Amino acid sequence: MARVQLFDVAIARSGDKGDGSNVGVKARTPALYEFLRENLTTAVVKEHFKEICFGDVKRYELPNLQVLNFILEDSLGGGGTETLIMDAQGKVHSLAMLHMEMDIPDELLA
């Protein structure tokens, strides 16, 4: 096992969905997708974003694209037109997700 950031195994994109943000995580390989599907849970994501996500975290699986899509409810301080936070559209939430560290089996990193 190696402790790596998601940067090493995935790419991500994010944006706003009202008062929540949408973070899509695309695994670099099918094997990594299966690993992330098992280990990148809503609880793990909620803990990682605990200081900005005050609502539920929902996850949607898109296996044909090797993507896990997360909705972080109540994470934008009211949404794009109602908030004074710097990132009103949640654009940096994907970067924050990719900074998450996980223990990944060595064979998936080769």
Tell me the two tokens of residue 32.
């990594």
pLDDT tens column, 11-33:
999 876 677 888 999 999 999 99
Instruction: Tell me if the pTM is above 0.85.
Output: yes
Q: Which two tokens stand for residue 74?
A: 């109540």
pLDDT category of residue 39 using cuts at 50, 70 and 90? very high
Number of structural domains, the chain?
1
The β-bridge partners of 60 are: 69
Who contacts 6 (Cβ-Cβ below 8 Å, separation ≥6)? 12, 25, 40, 97, 98, 99, 100, 101, 102
Domain ranges, residue 38: 2-109
